[in-house]
A and B are shown apart, each in its own frame.
Chain A
Amino acid sequence: MTQIVGGMRGPAGNLDAVRVYAEVARRSFLRHSTYRGATVAGAFANTVFGFIKAYIVLAVIAQTGAINGLDRTKAVTFIFVAQGMLMLISAFGSTEVGDRVKDGSIATDLYRPVDFSGYWLAADIGRAGFLAIFRGLPPLLAGALVFPIGLPTATVRWLEFVVCVTMSVALASRWWLIVNLVAFWTVEVRGIRSLGIIVLNFAAGILLPLQFLPKGLRAAAMVTPFAAMLQRPVDLLLGLTSFPVVIAWQGAWLVVMESAVRFELGAAVRKVVIQGG
């Protein structure tokens, strides 16, 4: 079993693997591009929540002035960029892998001659590529119609942001793998997934930008991988932090989480029970 999970090795294998991953990502992009109605509806919902959140936050800032560097413009920009990023990091949870464990089709995934974790990373990158354009931009554009939005003009900043968001997608992809693979032991992961969603929404800065939290709570949230998924990249876009800091946090957490995925998967396939018959 572990041999299969290990995937392809050797120089020729590596090249093939890259091609396979690129193809997986491309197909994933195309697959998500077919859900047109759902994409429009989802972008609409993200935008509506963005408006409400923006008004709440503005009502506070109107009384206090800038909060930890977030003035009116920066706070509103934060909210609409964050609303656009929600789907990239599956802020409301991802069920795909858990469902596949539950119905047994995970066996097919384990048979594949590609690395399991790499396969899902490629699929998530492809999906995120589509969502970045069609779920990411609409809330921002709609927000800009009503509120003052301030985005950087320097190309370098945008390039850095794109790199960091790609890292966010990878981090979130690892996070939901860790959560969903628990299904190997419990079958039903709805409860654990709910907890995952709660922690993520709080610590990533989705509930409120972390600047709004009291000092201790903010500091605690900032060290989590969730802050590295959303809060830190958005801070970077707003010029509140620097690229090396963000990428260092993301890189460190990616190593930790990828190791966790591999450890968990290793343990799972040693005692694997495939559901169904």
Chain B
Amino acid sequence: MGELRIAGHLIWAKIRSEAQYPASLIAHLIAQVLVLGLDLLAIWALFLRVHALGGWTRGQVLGLYAISGTAFGIGDLFVSAVERTAEHVRLGTFDRFLLRPAGTLIQLLANEFELRRLGRLIQPVVVLVLVLTSVAVDWTPAHIALCAAMIVGATTMYSAIWVSTAALAFWIPSTQEFANAFTYGGQYASQYPISIMGEWMRRILLTAIPLGLVAYVPGIELFGAANPMGIARWMSFVAPFAGVPVALAAGLLWRAGTRHYRSTGS
């Protein structure tokens, strides 16, 4: 608990320092909203030509986009700073985190916190509110819980992917773009029904990098959407928890990485 309080203080300090340059912050937030606007533009353009993708209507795809985007946005705000690991390893500044009496991961995340990353969260949240009020969702208590579980589950999953790909930097430097393929690539893939992907990619998204389990599979139940892959209904309720084992694995990988770290010796 003490660690979280310290992290909170650090984050608050970072927020205040960023607020010193409000124009830069606002420009960045606007830019982020516009960048994400491209994803929406693509969905809009494609649905001018077809009525459904993988059997999902535009509203349902937008729902998937918004839930996955919101989760990615939360992960981006609080966890994506773990990307900076590579630089700390390269410069040897990771030493500092090891010297202090607190967890390395939480220190790194608090130290590199940037309010400007909020930009990735704003737009999906707006879309989420618009979609969930316009798309036909049967708002039973079970579905409300499922919707929340999807967001929490997907956030956990994205965070775990961020941490595990960043932890690779302890062994191999300059893997940033490799990590991007899983984080940003994963986010891109989970905006669309995975049934439109090839067999091999679907399998990856349901097992090795199970982003399909936290977005598409529960989405079938939540939106009452087409289920061409014939996934069992109970799976929709269990799948959001897939983030938990992945997060545990990411934690172990991070710990192994910090033990492997040998500083730069200079």
B104 interface residue, CB < 8 Å from A? no
CB distance from A227 to the nearest CB of B (A): 16
Question: Which B residue sits closest to A53, measured CB to CB?
Answer: B188
Tell me whether B172 is interfacial, beta carbon within 8 Å.
yes
- Chain B residue nearest to A40 (CB atoms) is B178
CB of A38 within 8 A of CB of B176, answer yes
Kindly provide the distance from the CB of A32 to the nearest chain B CB, expressed in whole angstroms. Answer: 13
Query: Are A194 and B35 closer than 8 Å at their CB atoms?
Result: yes
Residues A49 and B185 in contact, CB atoms below 8 Å apart: yes
Q: Contact at B35–A198, with CB atoms within 8 Å?
A: yes
Contact A52 B34 (CB under 8 A): no
B207 at the interface (CB under 8 A from A): no
A44 within 8 A of B: yes
A44 to B181, CA, bound (A): 7
B197 partner residues in chain A, CB cutoff 8 A: 52, 55
Q: Which residues of A contact B196 (CB under 8 A)?
A: 55-56, 58-59
- Given known contacts A55-B201, A190-B28, is B49 in contact with A37 (CB within 8 Å)? no
> CB within 8 A of A45: which of B32, B41, B173, B185?
B185
B31 at the interface (CB under 8 A from A): yes
Given A146-B198, A197-B35, A35-B174 contact (CB < 8 Å): yes
A147 to chain B, nearest CB (A): 9
How far apart are the CA atoms of A144 and B241 in the complex, in Å? 36
- How far, in whole Å, are A45 and B188 apart by their CA atoms in the complex? 12
Q: A37-B172, A194-B34, A198-B38 are in contact. Are A45 and B49 (CB under 8 A)?
A: no
CA distance in complex: A191, B42 (Å): 22
- The answer to whether A56 and B192 have CB atoms under 8 Å apart is yes
Q: Out of A55, A64, A198, A201, name the residue touching B31 (CB < 8 Å).
A: A198
Name the distance in Å between A259's Cβ and chain B's nearest Cβ.
27
- Nearest A residue to B43 via CB reads A56
Report yes or no: A207 in contact with B50, Cβ–Cβ below 8 A. Answer: no
Is A194's CB under 8 angstroms from B31's CB?
yes
Q: Which of A181-207 contact B (CB under 8 A)?
A: 188, 190-191, 194-195, 197-198, 201-202, 207
Report the minimal beta-carbon distance from A105 to chain B, rounded to whole angstroms: 20
A134 CB–B CB distance under 8 Å: no
Q: If A55-B198, A198-B35 touch, does A208 touch B177 (CB 8 Å cutoff)?
A: no
Q: How many residues of B contact A (CB 8 A)?
A: 37
Question: Which of chain B's residues have a CB closer than 8 A to the CB of A191?
Answer: 24, 27-28, 30-31
Interface string of B144-175 (1 = CB under 8 A from A): 00000000000000000000000000001111
Q: A41 near B46 (CB under 8 angstroms)?
A: no
Q: Is B208 part of the contact surface with A, judged by Cβ < 8 Å? A: no
For residue A218, which residue of chain B has the nearest CB? B45
Q: Is the CB of B35 within 8 A of A208?
A: no
Nearest chain B residue, comparing its CB with the CB of A199: B34
Task: Indicate if A276 sits at the interface (CB-CB under 8 A).
Answer: no
A194 to B179, alpha carbons, bound, how many Å?
21
From 8 to 40 in chain B, residues with beta carbon under 8 angstroms from any chain A beta carbon are 24, 27-28, 30-32, 34-35, 37-38
Q: Are A52 and B31 in contact (CB under 8 A)?
A: no
Interchain nearest-CB distance for B132 vs A (Å): 23
CB neighbours (8 Å) of A44 from chain B are 177-178, 181
What residues of A have a CB within 8 angstroms of the CB of B50 in the complex?
Answer: 59-60, 63-64
A48 to B42, CA, bound (A): 18
Residue among A55, A58, A197 with most chain B CB within 10 A:
A55
- Whether A60 pairs with B38 at a CB distance below 8 angstroms is no
Shortest CB-to-CB span from A121 to chain B, Å, is 25
Is B54's CB within 8 Å of the partner chain A?
A: yes
CA distance A37 to B90 in the complex (A): 14
- Give the residue of A52, A190, A194, A202 whose beta carbon is less than 8 angstroms from that of B188: A52
Given contacts A190-B24, A201-B38, A208-B42, contact A42 B177 (CB under 8 A): yes
A212 to B196, CA, bound (A): 18
Judge whether B48 is part of the interface by a CB distance below 8 angstroms. yes
Q: Mark A212-245, 1 if CB is under 8 A from B, else 0.
A: 1110010000000000000000000000000000
The residue in chain B whose Cβ has the minimal distance to the Cβ of A49 is B185
Closest to B39 in A: A207
**Chain A residues whose C-beta falls within 8 Å of the C-beta of B35 in the assembled complex:** 194, 197-198
**Chain B residues with CB under 8 A of A207:** 38, 41-42
Beyond A194-B32, A202-B38, A212-B46, 20 additional contacts (C-beta under 8 Å) are: A37-B172, A37-B174, A37-B175, A38-B176, A40-B178, A41-B178, A42-B177, A45-B178, A45-B180, A48-B181, A51-B198, A52-B189, A52-B201, A56-B53, A56-B192, A59-B53, A60-B50, A64-B50, A190-B28, A191-B31
Q: List 18 A-B contacts (CB under 8 A).
A: A37-B174, A37-B175, A41-B176, A41-B178, A41-B181, A44-B181, A45-B177, A45-B178, A45-B180, A45-B181, A49-B185, A55-B198, A60-B53, A191-B28, A202-B41, A207-B38, A212-B49, A214-B48
